[in-house]
Structure 1
């Protein structure tokens, strides 16, 4: 992003709610968003996003939690070539007790990093096998969750449970070698 004062991309960012939009506009005044208004994304909203995707780039930028993943999955079904932006769970932690995890709590630096390090679904699938994934300690074991979290940060692809994380690695075309290197660097 060249300047936080001007819109320098033709993308529309899909977010969960108005607080996410407010936070993004705070640092990127020209940014355009569509709010899903929570995890129950309406058919109308999905149709609007699908139609917009014919002429504009779509970036999915949801919270790093279960509902955010659900929205990401629903939007990706209607716009398979949508780009994906992620913040870590730590970057989305609220400053006030009782608030939920979210994009609206992320720092300017975290938002800038997420929007400049976008991921796309790869047509060619990853060469990663389930047995390689498990051998790297990501599938199961006492430290698998923490390891997936660290690797997700390293690769900027967010966190997922064992099954979701494997699917995400495949979806983004991350090779066994790339994954092995990421695992070794965070251990």
Structure 2
């Protein structure tokens, strides 16, 4: 599997893991304190080939994803679950199996393609939908959001970020309800 876009990762071990799994070029951010020169390279890569952001499923990874997305509009996003990225040594892209990385890259979310989709519902998801689904202000809301994020392919996030991702990736009410039904069937 060869990837046309440049994949943004956090460090050299992530590059090694990605290149072991697929044919791809990467840009390493060097952690969450992204240097201005790295951001300029990401902008150039986006203009020339497109960019896929694949960061660790943790707080620093989310900060990097957010910073890159704010600076470089139109980036695609690939997500690994915490379970896919976990090993005895920690959580990160570098710990994911080749199959998990390929799955994440095959399930890339593109906010611009979602914006042009004819299947986008007219009314969109509302904050109250998350509340009604037990994804916020609920004893097991974090666990439910984690599973919903896996099913929807948008990764884990806190309530506010989960809501933003649902809207950014134009998650349809049908998609949302199907994932919620699965979560309910699993008894989460």
Find 1:133's aligned residue among 130, 133, 145. Answer: 130
1:109 aligns with one of 91, 99, 103? 99
Distance in 1 of aligned mates of 2:79 and 2:53: 9
For residue 108 of structure 2, the aligned residue among 110, 118, 127 is 118
Q: Does 1:45 align with 2:38?
A: yes
Per-residue deviation, residues 117-138 of structure 1 (Å, max 9, x unmatched): 1001143686001111211111
The residue matched to 2:150 in structure 1 has which SS?
helix
Counterpart for residue 60 of structure 1: 53
Q: CA RMSD in A?
A: 1.4
- Which residue does 2:146 correspond to in 1? 149
- Residue 10 of structure 1 and its aligned partner are, at CA, apart by 1.8
Per-residue displacement from partner, 1:83-129 (whole Å, max 9, x unpaired)? Answer: 10000011111233xxx310000011111100111001143686001
Contact 1:86 1:156 in 2 (8 A): yes
Q: Which secondary structure state, in structure 1, belongs to the residue aligned with residue 27 of structure 2? A: strand
> In the alignment, which residue of structure 2 is the partner of 1:81?
74
Stretch of structure 1 that moved more, 177-186 or 146-155? 177-186
Q: CA deviation at 1:143?
A: 1.1
* Correspondence for 2:17: 23
Where in structure 2 are there 5+ consecutive unaligned residues? none
Q: 2:137, 2:57 → 1: CA distance?
A: 21
Structure 1 gaps of 5+ residues are 2-7
| Deviation of 1:180 (Å) | 1.5
